[in-house]
């Protein structure tokens, strides 16, 4: 059954592919699964029709027959469990790939999101500059730990998996900050992922939404 996902009608990231629908699009492309997209405005995301799908009023959601999911990690894990190409078959390797999915969103991402959000929430506050500087070392620490674990491997644990999708998309949030670049193996890891045909198709699809929104504006 062809699933339907939701994405921003006008993504605040200006087509950079940093919104969380990009992760899901990429996973669907890796799995060779066609999908439909329903675009929603910020106002629509807070309306009852969307809150039924996503109680926290965000994107993406995923609808497939009777199943409705939200939370990009859970959506990608569902795709990975029902299609080929995103998780190893061997049980221990599979458990480790899922481990990296959780590590991406629960250990690597939080200090990055905090740093990102500070740009908005701390604007004009007396603590803005000092706090922003204090948010960089925790990111650098995590990146260093991740870099040491990756070493000179192509992917984080054996073959490419959904764990790499989640990690790469979290690292991509630092695009333009010159932090990932301090760790050449991590920068190469992100570039390797971005060169995958499935990634490129997903990126192009979300970029087309941005272009359409620009044309409409």
Q: Which residues bind a copy of itself (CB under 8 A)?
A: 55-58, 66-67, 69-75, 77-78, 81, 92, 95-96, 98-99, 101-103, 105-107, 109-110, 113-114, 121-122, 125-127, 130-131, 134, 142, 145-146, 148-149
Nearer to a copy of itself, 25 or 54 (CB): 54
Helix (H, G, I), strand (E, B) or coil at 184: helix
| Least distance to a copy of itself, CB of residue 121, Å | 7
31 neighbors 86 (Cβ within 8 angstroms): yes
Cα of first residue to Cα of last residue in the chain, in angstroms, is 34
Residue 178 to residue 183: CA distance in whole angstroms: 10
Nearer to a copy of itself, 140 or 148 (CB): 148
| Least distance to a copy of itself, CB of residue 160, Å | 18
| Least distance to a copy of itself, CB of residue 138, Å | 9
The b/e string for 152-179 (b: 16+ C-beta within 10 A; e otherwise) is: eeebbbeebbbbbbbbbbbbbbbeeeeb
Nearer to a copy of itself, 9 or 54 (CB): 54
The alpha carbon dihedral of 169, 114, 61, 103 has a sign of positive
Nearer to a copy of itself, 83 or 196 (CB): 83
């Amino acid at each position: 059954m062809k699933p339907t996902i939701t994405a921003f009608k006008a993504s605040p990231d200006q087509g950079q592919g940093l919104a969380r629908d990009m992760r899901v699009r990429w996973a669907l492309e890796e799995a060779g699964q066609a999908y439909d997209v329903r675009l929603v405005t910020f106002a629509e995301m807070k309306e009852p029709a969307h809150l039924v799908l996503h109680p926290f009023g965000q994107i993406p959601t995923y609808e497939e027959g009777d199943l409705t999911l939200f939370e990009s990690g859970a959506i990608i894990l569902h795709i990975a469990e029902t299609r080929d190409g995103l998780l190893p078959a061997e049980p221990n390797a599979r458990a480790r790939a899922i481990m990296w999915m959780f590590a991406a969103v629960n250990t690597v991402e939080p200090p990055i999101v905090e740093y990102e959000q500070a740009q908005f929430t701390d604007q004009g506050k007396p603590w803005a500059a000092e706090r922003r500087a204090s948010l960089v070392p925790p990111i650098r620490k995590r990146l260093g730990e991740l870099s040491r674990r990756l070493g000179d491997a192509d992917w984080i644990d054996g073959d490419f998996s959904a764990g790499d999708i989640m990690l790469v998309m979290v690292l991509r949030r630092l695009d333009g900050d010159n932090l990932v670049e301090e760790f050449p193996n991590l920068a190469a890891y992100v570039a390797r992922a971005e060169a995958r045909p499935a990634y490129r198709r997903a990126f192009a699809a979300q970029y087309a939404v941005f272009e359409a929104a620009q044309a409409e504006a």
